[in-house]
Structure 1
Amino acid sequence: MGRSQELASRLQEVLLDGRWVANTNCKAQLENLSWEVATQKVGNLNTIAALTFHINYYLAGLIVVFQGGALEIRDKYSFDLPPINSQADWEKLVNEFLANSETFVQEVAQLSDNILDQPFVDEKYGTYLRNIEGIIEHTYYHLGQISMLKKLIAVTDA
């Protein structure tokens, strides 16, 4: 298995169906969640919906680059979650996140291994490898937050 396929496998695990590192994944945490829980505030922490949007924002932005487009995402917009006022709004976000997750995994799997060591868009952003590993680490970080928020909300609602 090449490096790109190994990275794709790690992404598949954290985003869609793995259980090895965190004993869960994003898809498992987000499916069957009500919009009320997804948008419930716990102190000054981000909501589950905001974290979902945030992870998806970076996936979508990097997919554009992988498909030949420009890097147009900016950190300052990564939490600009549109209002979630219904279950349909929440499910739309989750479905977009899951579709982008699948696309991102496929795009990484299709990369030639030699591109992984090349600069990503601009040398200041590091290599493709660094950016893909960054997505993996970033997603695990926020997956932990989502898992904790779900437990805090369950305790609060009990």
Structure 2
Amino acid sequence: MSTPSQLAKRFREVVLDGKWIANTNFKDQLSDVTWKQATTKIDSLNTIAMLTFHIDYYIAGLVDVFEGGDLKIKDQFSFDLPLIESQQQWEELLNKLWNDSGKFATLLEQMSDSKLREVFVDEKYDTYLRNIDGMIEHCYYHLGQITLIKKLILFKH
């Protein structure tokens, strides 16, 4: 299996369908979360909806670059979640995450090994490989947060 295919598999595992590292994934954790739970604030923690938006923001930003576009994402906007006031809006956010994640994995699978060693947009961002590995690690980090916040919400209610 090529390196891009292995990375795509790891990415799918954390977001869409795996259980190997954390025994869960984003889709598994978020499938039964209601919009009210997703927007419930626990102390100073981010909400599940904010973390979902945040992770999709970065995935979508990398997809743009993978498709030949510019890197438009900025850290300062990565938590600018539009207000969610219904189950439909929550489900739209989830569907965006699933669609962007599927696109990310598919585009990654189509990359060559040599592309992974290329500079990602600008030398200050290092290589494609470093950014893809970083995305996978970023996803696991926030998956852990979502899992714990979900438990806190269910415990309090």
Shorter-chain TM-score above 0.5: yes
Where do 1:115-126 residues align within 5 Å?
A: 115-126=115-126
Q: Work out whether 1:48 is the aligned partner of 2:53.
A: no
Q: List, as ranges, runs of 4+ consecutive aligned residues in structure 1 with deviation greater than 4 Å.
A: none
1:99 equivalent in structure 2: 99
Q: Offset of 1:38 from its aligned partner? A: 0.4
Task: Give unpaired runs (5+ residues) of structure 2.
Answer: none
Supply the distance in 1 between the matched residues of 2:120 and 2:6 (Cα, whole angstroms): 19
Supply the distance in 2 between the matched residues of 1:30 and 1:148 (Cα, whole angstroms): 12
**1:83-109 superposed Cα distances (whole Å, 9 cap, x missing partner):** 000001100000000100111110111
Q: Offset of 1:31 from its aligned partner? A: 1.2
- TM-score (normalised: structure 1): 0.98
The one-letter code of the counterpart of 1:138 is H
2:19 equivalent in structure 1: 19
Aligned Cα RMSD in Å? 0.5
2:84 equivalent in structure 1: 84
The one-letter code of the counterpart of 2:60 is A
The one-letter code of the counterpart of 2:49 is A
Q: Offset of 1:32 from its aligned partner? A: 2.4
Supply the distance in 2 between the matched residues of 1:69 and 1:127 (Cα, whole angstroms): 16
- TM-score (normalised: structure 2): 0.99
1:62 equivalent in structure 2: 62
1:31 equivalent in structure 2: 31
Identity %: 56
Please, which moves more after superposition, 29-38 or 139-148? Answer: 29-38
Supply the distance in 1 between the matched residues of 2:89 and 2:12 (Cα, whole angstroms): 25
Supply the distance in 1 between the matched residues of 2:141 and 2:106 (Cα, whole angstroms): 22
Supply the distance in 1 between the matched residues of 2:120 and 2:63 (Cα, whole angstroms): 12
**1:30-67 superposed Cα distances (whole Å, 9 cap, x missing partner):** 11210000000000100000000000000000100000
Supply the distance in 1 between the matched residues of 2:137 and 2:25 (Cα, whole angstroms): 13
Supply the distance in 2 between the matched residues of 1:48 and 1:110 (Cα, whole angstroms): 31
The one-letter code of the counterpart of 1:104 is F
1:73 equivalent in structure 2: 73
Q: Work out whether 1:7 is the aligned partner of 2:17.
A: no
2:137 equivalent in structure 1: 137
Count of residue pairs brought into register by the alignment: 157
Supply the distance in 2 between the matched residues of 1:31 and 1:77 (Cα, whole angstroms): 26
The one-letter code of the counterpart of 1:9 is K
